Structure 1
Amino acid sequence: MSHTAEATIKEINGISVYYEWHPSSPGAKTVVLLHGFLSSTFSFRKLVPLLCKDYNVLNIDVPPFGKSGKTKKFLYSYKNIAATMIALLDELGIKNPVLAGHSMGGQYVLNMIALQPHLATKAVLFCSSSYLEPPGRLLSFGSQLPFFHLAVKRWLVRSGGVKKNLKLVVHDQSLIDEDMLRGYMQPFLDKQMFHGLGRLIHDREGELRPEALHKIITPCLLIWGEHDRVVPLAVGNRLHGDLKNSELVVLENTGHLVPEERPEEVCRLMKEFIERQEP
């Protein structure tokens, strides 16, 4: 975090939301960053210092991840999380931001602009999660059992833990160092996270249908990794077709973790997109 950044936790819509506010020059536009599944504000650590040169940056831990709340009383549906993020922007007096989301964070952004079509001037979607169906009935039922959070924890350990998952999301394996491992491991050290995760798995509804995507009018920039193994490029092509006011940029030799793997290129693409005058 830069020395001028403010880290704050606010109660919004019945849950505590942690965010980092990085102010730029007076009158600068604001970019709002929403991370993906099993991640935190850490995933934008390389992008934030670059964006700060030209924009205010609001980097949020989306519940139940990072330092945000993990209460089991909160409804972790896309729609309710989107409404909570909108309420946070209202609380902070942020008008006409640029919304940017990575992976599941992209689906939150799409839900926000579907709920409030004039909320954002533009949106940037990094390898956005799209077209997922809701969890099946068995998983939905299982997630309500008292020890489900332990099953989630066991599944994460069995899947190879943080290092194996990073190898899946990063194309250039040499980027995986101790800093990166520590940062992505951090959310898992809080056992309450697994309770929130169980609720999220239960509450998650299906992602926006094509007919809802067709109605989105906000200009959208889609940035995809050529070798994304989590949300493949085919999904990006489909999303580009369904979002009528969108453009798609594919980064070569890049995996799913676009802001981590290509921060300079991502910042340049975002800046060009943000500054471009729409007809």
Structure 2
Amino acid sequence: MKAKAVLAAAAALITADAGQAHPLPSTSATTTYHRVTVDGVGIFYREAGPKGAPTIVLLHGFPSSSREFDPLIPLLATQYHLIAPDFPGFGHSDAPSPSSYAYTFDHLAQTTSALLDQLGIDKCVFYLHDYGGPVGFRVMAARPQRVQALVVQNANAYSEGLGAKWAVIAQYWTDPKAHPEVFDAFVSQAATEQRHTLGTSHPERYNPDTWTDEYAHLQQPGQREIQSALLYDYRTNVASYPAWQSWLREHKPPTLVAWGKNDPSFIAAGGDAYKRDVPDAEVHQLDAGHFAFDEKNDEIADLILKFLANQSLK
């Protein structure tokens, strides 16, 4: 009888009264996968770690998704609660037409902030990478009290951090219709691969599934309109750099910078520049490229764990 009772209890955990499966909670290093409606948009997110632990929110880059954090999450989830969402138009989140959802970094930030509100995350550590930088800075500026600490990995906020290609992209910002070749190059198969592989001395550490899957995503219907809108709106990020730097000077969040110093897009000077506004920032220039955690995953995880161990997180 006792065995039957145990089996019945286990079945109750995974089966709802209506016959639907209950999502099991994320525990320790086990990642679970969720989808909620936020601001009328279906948002997908990964979750791992004990919910009672301090939360790290991981914000991904272009043209990836929360999947980019798959190798890092298990190394942090034994001690921290992790949330990694896909922005609208990316990964497994909805990609509504630009006629119904404005693809601007302001709007991505509003949706991300609304997701955190919906999940009850009122304090957290932010991990910013690439596009996650402009989204995260907007989220943090709107509610500074939410920020417990900041981890920056090739998320630029300084003009000196912009590599040579941004001078070409600036032509697109001036007149997108006159420079379609700029966008075509930005989303090309070669560029999608090179975002991972340029600047690495360890190509064997890079999984080619990452860029083949990212490129396949970019070929989906509607993606050209979505990504061209965001590339054009990126000009507002560069214009916002002085405001973000001022925010850093005012609030001085505990900051760890783990920068892939060989990144040709966001060059090493952009990582070093954080110390200008947050003098106590811990800056590490790693021998890696734009997706530094693809080849320096263990090192970055170790840096994060040591850094956060010295913070007063609740």
TM category (shorter chain) comes to 0.7 to 0.9
Please say if 1:163 is aligned against 2:193: yes
Measure how far apart 1:137 and its partner are. Answer: 8.0
Hey, what does 1:246 align to over in structure 2?
Answer: 281
Hey, what does 2:137 align to over in structure 1?
Answer: 110
Hey, what does 1:235 align to over in structure 2?
Answer: 270
Measure how far apart 1:262 and its partner are. Answer: 0.9
Q: Is contact 1:221-1:246 (8 Å) kept?
A: yes
Q: 1:203 is matched by which residue type in structure 2?
A: D
What pairs up with 1:91-110 in 2 under 5 angstroms? 91-110=118-137
What pairs up with 1:1-279 in 2 under 5 angstroms? 4-22=30-48, 24-25=49-50, 27-70=52-95, 71-72=97-98, 73-131=100-158, 139=173, 142=176, 152-153=183-184, 156-157=187-188, 160-168=190-198, 170-204=200-234, 205=236, 206-209=239-242, 210-244=245-279, 246-251=281-286, 253-277=287-311
Normalising by structure 1, we get a TM-score of: 0.83
Measure how far apart 1:125 and its partner are. Answer: 0.6
**Secondary structure, aligned partner of 1:272:** helix
CA displacement 1:227-259 (0-9 Å, x = unmatched): 2222111111112212355221222x2222122
CA separation in 2, counterparts of 1:243 and 1:76? 31
Measure how far apart 1:109 and its partner are. Answer: 2.0
Residues 137 and 177 from structure 1, CA distance in 2 versus in 1: closer, same or farther, beyond 3 angstroms?
Answer: closer
Where is the helix percentage greater, Structure 1 or Structure 2? 2
CA RMSD of aligned residues (A): 3.0
Q: Is contact 1:114-1:216 (8 Å) kept?
A: no
Higher relative contact order (CA 8 A, sep 6+): 1
Percent identity, aligned pairs only?
Answer: 24
Measure how far apart 1:275 and its partner are. Answer: 1.7
CA separation in 1, counterparts of 2:279 and 2:41? 34
Normalising by structure 2, we get a TM-score of: 0.75
Measure how far apart 1:32 and its partner are. Answer: 0.9
CA separation in 2, counterparts of 1:26 and 1:87? 19
CA displacement 1:175-228 (0-9 Å, x = unmatched): 234433444334224232222112212333133313343223321111112322
Number of matched residues?
271
CA separation in 1, counterparts of 2:135 and 2:278? 15
Larger Rg: 1 or 2?
A: 2
Q: Is contact 1:40-1:66 (8 Å) kept?
A: yes
List gaps (5 residues or longer) in structure 2.
1-25
